[in-house]
Amino acid sequence: MQNYLSIRNLLESIFSVDVGLEESDALVVLGRVLGDEFQRGEIEKELCQLFRDRYVSWMELLDNESYVVYPADDEDDAKAYMVKILWDRVFPNTPVP
C-alpha cells in the first residue's frame, strides 16, 4: 500500500483541526504550496496515484492517530471531501479518475 507522504503532509500541516485554520484560510495556504512547481508536481503525481488506488482508506487519510482533518461518516463521504479540498484545487475542471 502506498503511503502518500506529500498528501499526508498537506493534510496534517494545513488541514488538520489541530492547526486551527478555517477551511478558506487552509485553501489559501494550499494555493501557495501549489505555486511551487516542484511541490505541485509531487502532489499531482500522488493525487493521481491516490485516486486510482482501490485499497486506500479515505477515512484513515482524514482521521488517524497523527491528525484529524474531517470525521467522515463513511468512505464515500471521506473521498468526496478529498475531492473538494484537494482534487478540485489541484486539477480544476478535471474529472476524478
Q: Note the pLDDT tens digit of each residue in 37-72.
A: 999 999 999 999 999 999 999 999 999 999 999 999
> Within a 10 A sphere around the Cβ of 87, how many other Cβ atoms?
20
pLDDT reading at 97 higher than 60: yes
Closest CA to 62 of 7, 6, 2, 1: 7
Which grid cell is 15? 488541514
pLDDT at 12: 97
Note if the pTM is more than 0.85: yes
Q: How far apart are CA 2 and CA 49, in angstroms?
A: 9
- Hey, where are the domains in the chain? 5-90
Cα-Cα-Cα-Cα torsion 19, 93, 36, 24, nearest 10 degrees, comes to: -30
